[in-house]
Chains A and B, each alone.
Chain A
Amino acid sequence: MARNKLEFPLDAEAYEIICKIGVGVSASVYKAVCLPMNSTVVAIKAIDLDQSRADFDSLRRETKTMSLLSHPNILNAYCSFTVDRCLWVVMPFMSCGSLHSIVSSSFPEGLPENCISVFLKETLNAISYLHDQGHLHRDIKAGNILVDSDGSVKLADFGVSASIYEPVTTSSGTTSSSLRLTDIAGTPYWMAPEVVHSHTGYGFKADIWSFGITALELAHGRPPLSHLPPLKSLLMKITKRFHFSDYEISTSACGKKSNKKFSKAFREMVGLCLEQDPTKRPSAEKLLKHPFFRNCKGVDFVVKNVLQCLSNTEQMFIESHILIKGVDDEEDDEEIVKNRRISGWNFREDDLQLSPVFPTAESDTSEFSPRGGDRIQDKPEGDNVVPTGSEVGLGLSNRNEDAKEQEGEVMGFDRDLVLEKLKLLKKSLEHQRARVLVIIEALSGEKEERNREEELLEMVEKLKIELEAEKMKTLRAEKESVLG
């Protein structure tokens, strides 16, 4: 593992970016080749640092975790280095993408059970290793389970993972090592109830819950309660109005009918993971011994039955973006939105009395601010991190929306676009909140009115959103014409 780090160069020049394969809130992921290494294909996650918080502590933790973990089922980093304002994390390229994209592109109704068991077992190996290392992943879901064309399965994204051995810096030197965490992290639909709502904190078993939800996600194509807005799903979870362990029996709760039959072993396994009481959930190690995984097929089986009928990651990414409709002129906009900048200061002492006027040319300031001048020429280079010529479908995939919903922070290259999208999302969240309130009111009072009112509200909101989108389009077109 350490050898890998030596081999991969810490220099952007050594990599040639092929195309973008994913966009997240805080980062974009590219497919690239490492030129000095026989053009080995790699994935590069480029994180915009200027958008991230005051210090890089969480990033430091993430990259450290990724370079110190060593397990065949865990996606670790070859190396990481900064390129202007971005952090590049070079990782193995997983050509089939995430289980989420596989399911949503090719198996919208869910995967067959004998394939699920293979993927889940591999994932569980990773979880078992992580827990043994004292790490909680905290964001286990199909979107974070990556698959390569040879069938290897790797758990990815340690952005919100935590180590129980490394108390967060705020702890005041006390030796209390209760091995429990209290901060809320994860993606709503997959979050364990004790993570959302707990007085005593949570531990490894929170990952087991998410694992159980992931099992259902693979089985049905989407996680339970995902027809509800995320906040409402959390509400359902903590008020225990919905029994996940009974989920199999009432598949209609998923929002659609399913005629699929799952084995008793599968249902029992999921039921164990989704025990409301974390202490009743089995550990990852124990779960590996469950009968469901006993007669599990090898990875060859999924290669033959699942992976060979897939289009590759790049195509999937592009396809998903065509569906969502990309915005094309994004890059031009960025220039306009940039704030006016001061061209340079006047530090010339002898000038002070004579000409308290500001030099505008760079030549005047270059003596004292070498970077000031360079910077302006440098800038295109910085922006170049978004590879020119690659597709610019900058819409957001479903997966990213989940992430956005949990984090209020705006990150990423496509700052303006993301901002716009987030504004929309915020609106829709507010709307959803209002709707939940309406429902609560309705439930306590008359029931008949509810549906009608809800429908109307929905219509209004939809129209509003469309209007917003149209407005933005027009605005963009205007800007462009001004530019041109």
Chain B
Amino acid sequence: MSCNPVSREGTKHQIGEKKASFSLYLFPARSCNAKNRARGKEEEERVRIGSCVSTRGGAGRDASKRLPSQHLSGSLTSSGYVAGDPSDQQSDVVGKKGLFKSKPRTPVDLVRQTRDLLLYSHRSISSLPDSSKPDEKMVELSRNIREMKFILYGNSEAEPVAEACAQLTQEFFREDTLRLLITCLPNLTLETRKDATQVVANLQRQQVNYKLIASDYLEANLDLMDVLIQGFENIDMALHYGSMFRECIRHQIVAKYVLESEHVKKFFDYIQLANFDIAADAAATFKELLTRHKSTVAEFLTKNEDWFFADYNSKLLESVNYVTRRQAIKLLGDILLDRSNSAVMTKYVSSMDYLMILMNLLRESSKSIQIEAFHVFKLFVANQNKPAEIVNILVTNRSKLLRLLADLKPDKDDERFEADKSQVLREISSLEMQDLA
């Protein structure tokens, strides 16, 4: 979908021209980040150790966690990398797996085997792309991922066991399994992709010793977000990568990374993609990004308000696409009405350009858009220090505004709305023309 020509180009300023002066909002973010950063370092250390382990093979793994009798197949798998041709060892794994099928695997084993199989999938796809026959190892991989899902979510017979979840999560993030899973996702079947997406979603919420270790992992691997966001441009992967992306920005540090990157600009296009599934998914993520972590969002908006709102208005609020306009005006209301964004809001409602856009939305034929537009419009009217130009526009259009607002009613009775409305009506009625400075 194309957008309307940018008619408010004039309001676009250099990014970062205004340095944030809202220490109040910055403060909590900073303290939080400091903590994260400290944790991040720790994690980096661990990840480095982890990745070095994985290249050397299973020998360096923490053996104390394993009970020898239970993990026969698991330990064979991982030691398989110590020497010899990896693909030989891989087939060995499957053979052994068959033999020990009935043996209960621990979550740790499960993750390790899955990781090995993912490595296999990664290699085999890049080397022999034309294997048409069903690959046993890929079948095994699918089974493993489903099993991980059952451990994390439980199944119809059993509730998840906290201890097992913790073990699985710890092992999963001890090494670069998430990266492998993400890069191999296109090689998997549809059903397995869905399972994998659910596993990744769940892992973001798992706490180990009261810590979200997924957050630490992602902080050290923020480039994964660059991979995930590309999913929006790939019709087959969009919904899977999109869900994972949204789960990952639950972590403040990740949301901050995305907001500070160029990625955030891409969302203006993604939410207008023709394919509704993908566009709606992108819109949900965009909303999450701009509402979930208050301090981060406030910091982002303060730093970037000029280009952000210019784009927001021209690309979204003035889009030709009804759905885009409708979602954008709702989200704008959510953002501006959030207490933590009050500084940005104050600036927003002092802009005549923005007021004009809002007034145009007010007279849309869609009632849903009108109602949402009202919730933003009322802020312009309620502003105690209205610039003269805004007062004059309101006065000039007074009778039309009064008429329009009088007719505007939500489908359900809404006392708040009525109260807001009568206040707005009063305020508009009492305004008088002012001299432009």
Chain A complexes with chain B: yes
Chain A interfacial positions (CB closer than 8 Å to B): 1-2, 5-6, 10-11, 49-50, 54-57, 59-60, 63-64, 67-68, 70, 79-82, 84-85, 87, 131, 133-134, 164-165, 173-175, 177-179, 203-204, 283, 338-342, 344-347, 349, 351-353, 356, 358, 368-372, 375, 379
Question: How far does the alpha carbon of A394 sit from the alpha carbon of B150 in the complex, in Å?
Answer: 48
A372 contact set on B, CB distance < 8 A: 360, 363
From B75-83, B117-125, B153-161, B422-430, the one touching the partner chain is: B153-161
Counting chain A CB atoms within 10 Å of each CB, the highest count among B152, B280, B281, B397 belongs to B280
B433 contact set on A, CB distance < 8 A: 352-353, 356
Closest to B367 in A: A50
B436 contact set on A, CB distance < 8 A: 349
A67 contact set on B, CB distance < 8 A: 239, 277
Contact (Cβ within 8 A) A55 B327: yes
B4 contact set on A, CB distance < 8 A: 370-371
- CB<8 Å pairs between A and B, sample of 13: A1-B190, A11-B274, A54-B330, A56-B323, A60-B280, A68-B239, A70-B190, A80-B277, A164-B153, A175-B202, A345-B356, A346-B396, A346-B397
Task: List B158-198 residues whose CB lies under 8 Å from chain A.
Answer: 159-160, 165, 190-191, 194, 198
Contact (Cβ within 8 A) B322 A82: yes
Q: Separation in Å of the B166 CB from the closest CB of chain A?
A: 11
| B400 contacts the other chain (CB 8 A) | yes
Contact (Cβ within 8 A) B407 A85: no
A131 contact set on B, CB distance < 8 A: 156
Q: Separation in Å of the A350 CB from the closest CB of chain B?
A: 10
Task: List B244-290 residues whose CB lies under 8 Å from chain A.
Answer: 250, 274-277, 280-281, 283-284, 287
Contact (Cβ within 8 A) B160 A358: no
| B205 contacts the other chain (CB 8 A) | yes
Question: How far does the alpha carbon of A369 sit from the alpha carbon of B356 in the complex, in Å?
Answer: 8
Contact (Cβ within 8 A) A2 B280: no
Could you give, for residues 303-333 of chain B, a 1 whenever the CB lies within 8 Å of some chain A CB and a 0 otherwise?
A: 0000000000000001011110011001000
Chain B interfacial positions (CB closer than 8 Å to A): 4, 7, 149, 152-154, 156, 159-160, 165, 190-191, 194, 198, 201-202, 205-207, 235-236, 239, 250, 274-277, 280-281, 283-284, 287, 318, 320-323, 326-327, 330, 356, 359-360, 362-368, 372, 389, 392-393, 395-397, 399-400, 403-404, 407, 433, 436
Contact (Cβ within 8 A) B321 A82: yes
- Picked from A63, A179, A338, A371, the residue with its CB within 8 Å of the CB of B318 is A371
Question: How far does the alpha carbon of A339 sit from the alpha carbon of B366 in the complex, in Å?
Answer: 11
Q: Separation in Å of the A410 CB from the closest CB of chain B?
A: 8
Question: How far does the alpha carbon of A358 sit from the alpha carbon of B395 in the complex, in Å?
Answer: 11
Contact (Cβ within 8 A) A50 B368: yes
- Picked from B202, B322, B395, the residue with its CB within 8 Å of the CB of A356 is B395
Question: How far does the alpha carbon of A165 sit from the alpha carbon of B159 in the complex, in Å?
Answer: 13
Contact (Cβ within 8 A) A375 B365: yes
Question: How far does the alpha carbon of A285 sit from the alpha carbon of B266 in the complex, in Å?
Answer: 44
Known: A64-B239, A372-B360. A347 touches B153 (CB 8 A): no
Counting chain A CB atoms within 10 Å of each CB, the highest count among B206, B318, B372, B396 belongs to B396
Contact (Cβ within 8 A) B156 A203: yes
B250 contact set on A, CB distance < 8 A: 173
Closest to B363 in A: A342
Contact (Cβ within 8 A) B365 A345: no
- Picked from A6, A50, A340, A351, the residue with its CB within 8 Å of the CB of B235 is A6
Contact (Cβ within 8 A) B281 A379: no
Contact (Cβ within 8 A) B274 A10: yes
Question: How far does the alpha carbon of A63 sit from the alpha carbon of B323 in the complex, in Å?
Answer: 15
Q: Separation in Å of the A12 CB from the closest CB of chain B?
A: 11
Question: How far does the alpha carbon of A217 sit from the alpha carbon of B191 in the complex, in Å?
Answer: 33
Contact (Cβ within 8 A) B360 A345: yes
Q: Separation in Å of the B358 CB from the closest CB of chain A?
A: 10
Known: A79-B275, A371-B4. A177 touches B281 (CB 8 A): no
A63 contact set on B, CB distance < 8 A: 276-277, 280
Question: How far does the alpha carbon of A179 sit from the alpha carbon of B155 in the complex, in Å?
Answer: 8
Contact (Cβ within 8 A) A133 B275: no
Known: A342-B404, A349-B389, A352-B392. A81 touches B356 (CB 8 A): no
Q: Separation in Å of the A260 CB from the closest CB of chain B?
A: 35
Contact (Cβ within 8 A) A85 B360: no
A341 contact set on B, CB distance < 8 A: 363, 365
Contact (Cβ within 8 A) B327 A283: no
Known: A54-B368, A173-B205. A2 touches B236 (CB 8 A): yes
Question: How far does the alpha carbon of A296 sit from the alpha carbon of B362 in the complex, in Å?
Answer: 60
Known: A179-B154, A204-B156, A283-B156. A369 touches B276 (CB 8 A): no
Known: A10-B274, A87-B276. A356 touches B407 (CB 8 A): no
Contact (Cβ within 8 A) B153 A177: yes
Q: Separation in Å of the B373 CB from the closest CB of chain A?
A: 12
B395 contact set on A, CB distance < 8 A: 356
Question: How far does the alpha carbon of A339 sit from the alpha carbon of B406 in the complex, in Å?
Answer: 12
Known: A67-B239, A356-B396. A60 touches B281 (CB 8 A): yes
Q: Separation in Å of the B337 CB from the closest CB of chain A?
A: 14
Contact (Cβ within 8 A) A49 B323: yes
Q: Separation in Å of the B425 CB from the closest CB of chain A?
A: 15
Question: How far does the alpha carbon of A179 sit from the alpha carbon of B154 in the complex, in Å?
Answer: 8
B407 contact set on A, CB distance < 8 A: 339-340
B403 contact set on A, CB distance < 8 A: 340, 342
Given A67-B277, A70-B191, A82-B276; 8 other pairs, CB 8 A cutoff: A55-B287, A173-B205, A177-B152, A342-B400, A345-B356, A347-B393, A371-B4, A379-B365
Contact (Cβ within 8 A) A369 B360: yes
Question: How far does the alpha carbon of A165 sit from the alpha carbon of B194 in the complex, in Å?
Answer: 11
A85 contact set on B, CB distance < 8 A: 322, 366
Contact (Cβ within 8 A) A175 B206: yes
Closest to B324 in A: A82
Q: Separation in Å of the B242 CB from the closest CB of chain A?
A: 9
- Picked from A2, A173, A174, the residue with its CB within 8 Å of the CB of B190 is A2
Counting chain A CB atoms within 10 Å of each CB, the highest count among B198, B202, B235, B277 belongs to B277
Known: A60-B277, A173-B250. A68 touches B154 (CB 8 A): no
Question: How far does the alpha carbon of A1 sit from the alpha carbon of B160 in the complex, in Å?
Answer: 32
A87 contact set on B, CB distance < 8 A: 276, 323
Known: A5-B235, A60-B281, A67-B277. A370 touches B322 (CB 8 A): no
Q: Separation in Å of the A158 CB from the closest CB of chain B?
A: 13
Contact (Cβ within 8 A) A345 B400: yes
Closest to A367 in B: B7
B191 contact set on A, CB distance < 8 A: 70, 133
Q: Separation in Å of the B213 CB from the closest CB of chain A?
A: 13
Contact (Cβ within 8 A) B275 A81: yes
Q: Separation in Å of the B276 CB from the closest CB of chain A?
A: 4
Closest 5 CB pairs of A and B: A60-B280, A10-B274, A80-B276, A342-B363, A2-B236
Contact (Cβ within 8 A) A178 B159: yes
Closest to A49 in B: B323
Q: Separation in Å of the A472 CB from the closest CB of chain B?
A: 21
Question: How far does the alpha carbon of A68 sit from the alpha carbon of B433 in the complex, in Å?
Answer: 58
A134 contact set on B, CB distance < 8 A: 153, 198
- Picked from A81, A165, A177, A345, the residue with its CB within 8 Å of the CB of B276 is A81
Q: Separation in Å of the A11 CB from the closest CB of chain B?
A: 7
Closest to A11 in B: B274
Known: A55-B330, A64-B281. A82 touches B235 (CB 8 A): no
A49 contact set on B, CB distance < 8 A: 322-323, 326
A59 contact set on B, CB distance < 8 A: 280
Closest to A87 in B: B276
Closest to A80 in B: B276
B156 contact set on A, CB distance < 8 A: 131, 179, 203-204, 283
Closest to B362 in A: A342
Closest to A340 in B: B407
Known: A60-B281, A165-B153. A175 touches B276 (CB 8 A): no
A56 contact set on B, CB distance < 8 A: 280, 283, 323, 327
B7 contact set on A, CB distance < 8 A: 370
B235 contact set on A, CB distance < 8 A: 2, 5-6
Contact (Cβ within 8 A) B326 A175: no
